[in-house]
Copies of this chain bind each other. A is one copy, B any other.
Amino acid sequence: MAAPSRNTCGLMERSVRERVPPLLTDLYQFTMAYAYWRAGRHQEPAVFELFFRDNPFGGGFSLFAGLHDCLLFLRSFRFSDEDVEFLRSVLPPATDPAFFQFLRGLDCSGVTVRSVPEGTVVFARVPLMEVAGPLAVVQLLETSLLCLVNYASLVCSNAARFRLAAGPRRKLLEMGLRRAQGPDGGLTASRYTHIGGFDLTSNVQAGFLFGIPVAGTMAHSYVTSFTSLEEVWPQTLVAVNGDPEPVDVISLTKSWLSRVCELLGAEPEKIREGELAAFLSYAVAYPQNFLPVIDSYSVGCSGLLNFCAVALALCELGHRPVGVRLDSGDLCKQSVDVRRVFRLCREHFSIPAFDSLIIVGTNNISEQSLAELNKKENEISVVGVGTHLVTCTKQPSLGCVYKLVEVRGRPRMKISEDPEKSTVPGRKAVYRLVDADGHPFLDLLCLTVEPPPEAGLPLSCYPQGCDNSAVSVTPAQVTCLRQEVFTKGQITQSLCSAAETRAKVQSSLQALHPRHKRLQEPDSYTVALSEKLHNLITEIQRGSSHGSNFLLAN
């Protein structure tokens, strides 16, 4: 059941403002902002970079998502009087009152953001967003931007992995709302799993807000709420394009059920009357959308037989049943059994519609169980995924960080005792180098002052995470990975719809070489530093080891 796409940009901006008020951040952003303000440094031009340090799920790539909401957040970033009053109550009493006036007047009119487009395949240690502006302001944005990018990118990447595991043809349904981190977690999951490659969601609000097609029919509670055929109402149905006289569907279904039992050699006394009543009631309500869950009791002894009986009755009246859902046990084996029964019915009763019945599988599906589906014989055409998708069981956090790389035009670097936590200094340009087959093979970080690499010309660079040796590469194509998306308080790129971003994900994944796309033990993608950037780091580290000896200078 497809939802119409809606123009909901205004709605979403309001929603971002409500979901991400400027106080939704860590306190230390304010204490630092005050210290900068007090030292008169708050207006100094500063540059932060947002990136993650490891590709998620032990994979070879990630997807970048959340930019859309970041931009709406930046555009509406402003403190209300109430916000400022609260901050006044929280910061130490000695805080200069003029600082709160400064906060009251703050906005992002001085901020410029360069970013990878939303939905792009990205790699660890590549700066995805560059946020430049007055030091105090860009510092204040940290937590909110991380919060908006981290989970969106993670769950989008997770969805893409499920999509790769499922293969291109199987339909994927997201149904994780009840297992997400609260209401907004659930909504965010629906939105970004669709972008990552899921076809459908069970979440109606996600359909409403983002135009994602919604799907769903019935739960076990519906089935178990019925006990007898007396509860079926109305008990008649009118045939399509035929006799306008209503037909007694209970008698019709019971006669089909007898024939099905006979055909399959089933024991009629094991069939649950309540289940048949539930199916029949649903079929009467939705004669064109009949897709019951058939394992509330026993698939083989009851659910499948009841389904066939109701579906055959519907077919006789010219309606078209849709299929069944399996929600427990060995989905592959059961789906094969179910399909065999469908074929038997189709042949024995000459009902061609039984050829196109679909089988939906939903039972705690993980990326691994989905990958296994592809190895075993099965007849499942739609897979519903909840918990493992939305909670990202395999790795529940992406770990994006936001690091200072330049202040007042001077490169800044964190030289940690833990080399993993050191940062790459300086304001950068990021280029994606593509080979002759159209596959990206290297992301190059340069200083912005450097000329861009040229297609067809060899260049020397320093792959990260290797020893300190240079390699020479010759790209067939070069693309600049980031674009300016926000400046002077305005969003400078048109915001993409979920559908556009979803298409971007697919094309970006398509271009990626299978060796990087492999879900297990992928080849690692090279991220390299230009010679100039490499030299800058060496220089800073050398300077650092010398120290400044300021103690003696005075």
On whether the beta carbons of B285 and A204 are closer than 8 Å, the reply is no
Task: Number of A interface residues at 8 Å Cβ cutoff, please give it.
Answer: 143
Contacts of A489 in B (CB 8 A): none
On whether the beta carbons of B404 and A224 are closer than 8 Å, the reply is yes
Within 8 A of B (CB), among A179-205: 179-189, 202-205
The listed residue (B90, B182, B215, B287) touching A184 by CB distance below 8 A is B182
Bound complex: CA of A222 vs CA of B29, how far in Å?
9
On whether the beta carbons of A207 and B90 are closer than 8 Å, the reply is yes
**Interface flags, A51-65, vs B, CB<8A=1, else 0:** 000000000000000
Within 8 A of B (CB), among A214-237: 214-222, 224-225, 227-229, 231-234
Bound complex: CA of A262 vs CA of B20, how far in Å?
50
**Which of A163-171, A337-345, A385-393 participates in binding chain B?**
A385-393
Within 8 A of B (CB), among A373-410: 387, 390-393, 396-400, 402-404, 407, 410
**Which of A290-298, A310-318, A446-454 participates in binding chain B?**
A290-298
Q: Does A307 contact B (CB under 8 A)?
A: no
Q: Does A19 contact B (CB under 8 A)?
A: yes
Bound complex: CA of A143 vs CA of B91, how far in Å?
40
On whether the beta carbons of B397 and A204 are closer than 8 Å, the reply is no
On whether the beta carbons of A225 and B92 are closer than 8 Å, the reply is no
On whether the beta carbons of B268 and A1 are closer than 8 Å, the reply is no
Residue in B closest to A147 when the chains form the complex, CB atoms: B178
Q: Does A25 contact B (CB under 8 A)?
A: yes
Residue in B closest to A258 when the chains form the complex, CB atoms: B551
Bound complex: CA of A549 vs CA of B258, how far in Å?
11
**Contacts A94-B288, A270-B547; is A208 near B414 (CB within 8 Å)?**
no
Contacts of A41 in B (CB 8 A): 225, 231, 233, 281
On whether the beta carbons of B46 and A225 are closer than 8 Å, the reply is yes
**Which of A119-127, A415-423, A496-504, A524-532 participates in binding chain B?**
A415-423
On whether the beta carbons of B185 and A185 are closer than 8 Å, the reply is yes
Residue in B closest to A6 when the chains form the complex, CB atoms: B86
On whether the beta carbons of B38 and A417 are closer than 8 Å, the reply is no
Contacts of A228 in B (CB 8 A): 548, 550
Closest approach, in angstroms, between the C-beta of A247 and any C-beta of chain B?
A: 16
On whether the beta carbons of B90 and A1 are closer than 8 Å, the reply is yes
Q: Does A31 contact B (CB under 8 A)?
A: yes
Q: What are 22 A-B residue pairs whose CB atoms fall within 8 Å in the complex?
A: A1-B91, A19-B183, A23-B204, A23-B205, A25-B204, A31-B218, A34-B285, A38-B281, A39-B231, A87-B204, A147-B180, A147-B182, A151-B182, A179-B398, A180-B185, A182-B184, A182-B188, A224-B414, A225-B407, A269-B549, A272-B547, A328-B421
List the 3 closest pairs (A to B, CB-CB), nearest first: A184-B184, A181-B185, A28-B216
Besides A27-B204, A36-B222, A86-B208, 20 other A-B contacts (C-beta < 8 A): A18-B18, A26-B202, A28-B216, A30-B204, A31-B216, A39-B233, A46-B225, A86-B207, A90-B204, A90-B207, A180-B185, A183-B184, A224-B412, A270-B547, A273-B550, A296-B416, A299-B417, A328-B416, A391-B396, A393-B397
Q: List A residues at the B interface (Cβ < 8 Å).
A: 1, 3-4, 18-21, 23-32, 34-36, 38-41, 46, 48, 83, 86-87, 89-92, 94, 135, 139, 142-144, 146-148, 150-152, 155, 175, 177-189, 202-205, 207-208, 214-222, 224-225, 227-229, 231-234, 251, 254, 257-258, 261, 268-273, 276, 281-282, 284-289, 295-299, 328-329, 387, 390-393, 396-400, 402-404, 407, 410, 412-418, 421, 544, 546-552, 554
